[in-house]
Amino acid sequence: MSCTNVSVLGATGSIGASTLDVIRRHPGRYRVFALTAHASAEALLALCRVHRPRYAVLSGPASVSKDEFSRLGTELLVGHAALDQVVAHPDCHAVMAGIVGAAGLSSTLAAARAGKRVLLANKEALVMAGPLVMRVARAAGAQLLPVDSEHNAVFQCFSEKKSVRKILLTASGGPFRAVPLESLEAATPEQACAHPNWVMGRKISVDSATMMNKGLEVIEARWLFDLSAERIEVLIHAQSIVHSLVEYVDGSVIAQLSNPDMRVPIAYALGYPERIDSGAQTLDLISIKTLSFEKPDAARFPCLPLAYAALRAGGTAPALLNAANEVAVEAFLGRRLPFTGIARVIGDTMERVPAGAAETLDAILAADAAARRAARAQVLARAA
């Protein structure tokens, strides 16, 4: 069996750590080709000492000597364009797109354009530019494999589209699922980031607390599985054991279950169509005993209906939604906006900035920039 060279984008984050753990379990089958980070130079260097990739990339400010990397046999590249360079390299076979947010769009597009196997953990690429990414991937023969646990679960359960009635994405409900609504205004970043089941970065943890994460996943699912908004449903499942379900026209429902461990979907995407060891703990249904489901409350999670509205509006509306959310979450984490202000800033931005056609990357990026300006102005106005 030939060795698969894997580039891990966002290697110093939680997705990167899980990906590298799975790769480590399969020496001879996978080799780390490139590792990237934004500005965490020391953490990136430490990973290079272990995995000895051909390339390392710092896409943000760099204040580290390239000699430290070259002594390991690794060439350090600097700047955002270097991400596109390593994913398109002819010796790179697979790309873990693990950069959070809009920052991951360009490299995901570059990997798709180069016809790579793309392990898609960056949902924002499809949220912002779903039609464009899918069109580029089809033209180049790229393989997009979802890594989000929910989409990966649907992918495992999905057969032919004509027999599918709908898909059901599950959500844990995050840390505020059952707290009094009146307490949300004073919720702190520490509370929002204390996810009950998953270990994630701060931005994604806040998105889980608002359920914007699930809203973005609804938009991503629309492009991955070519289904309308009406055929994508969200259920709260506090145990995070059932990761998604597919309902068929004959009344059957097929679900994928596992412990909440990102190594499971990562291993499935890496090994597809084979299944390989992920290192995750075996699921013990006897100890779990009960699996519960409930409908999400729009009053508690107003970001979810905002995402559905953006999906139905189409064009650049999802890009506006994503940009406003990134600005609002950053402000909340910086204690410049209350938790409940996140949805208000997003909703106001969607009203203030008109959506347009999303046929080109330039149009999408222009919409993203306009939404960020509007959202930042609202954050400043609310802080005044």
- Which amino acid type is present at position 321? L
> What does the radius of gyration of the chain's CA atoms come to, in whole angstroms?
20
Residues of the chain with CATH 3.40.50.720: 4-146
Instruction: Please say whether the structural domain 4-146 has been given the CATH code 3.20.20.220.
Output: no
Residue 86, Cβ density class (10 Å: 0-12 exposed, 13-18 middle, ≥19 buried): buried
Asked if the peptide bond before residue 302 counts as cis, ω within 30 degrees of 0, the response is: no
- CATH architecture of residue range(s) 314-384: Orthogonal Bundle (1.10)
Residues of the chain with CATH 1.10.1740.10: 314-384
Task: Report the DSSP beta bridge partners of residue 8.
Answer: 35, 96
Q: Is 303 helix (H, G, I), strand (E, B) or coil?
A: helix
Strand order in the sheet with 242-248: 232-236, 164-171, 242-248, 253-257
pTM of the model: 0.93
Q: Would you state the structure tokens that stand for residue 260, as one six-digit string?
A: 């909440």
Report the length, in residues, of the chain.
384
pLDDT tens across the length of the chain (384 residues): 589 999 999 999 999 999 999 999 999 999 999 999 998 999 999 999 999 999 999 998 877 889 999 999 999 999 999 999 999 999 999 999 999 888 999 999 999 999 999 999 999 999 999 999 999 999 999 999 999 999 999 999 998 899 999 999 999 999 999 999 999 999 999 999 988 777 778 998 999 999 999 999 999 999 999 999 999 999 999 999 999 999 999 999 999 999 999 999 999 999 999 999 999 999 999 999 999 999 999 999 999 999 999 999 999 999 999 999 999 999 999 999 999 999 999 999 999 999 999 989 999 999 999 999 999 999 999 876
Task: HSE, CB side, 13 Å, CA atoms: give it for residue 211.
Answer: 27
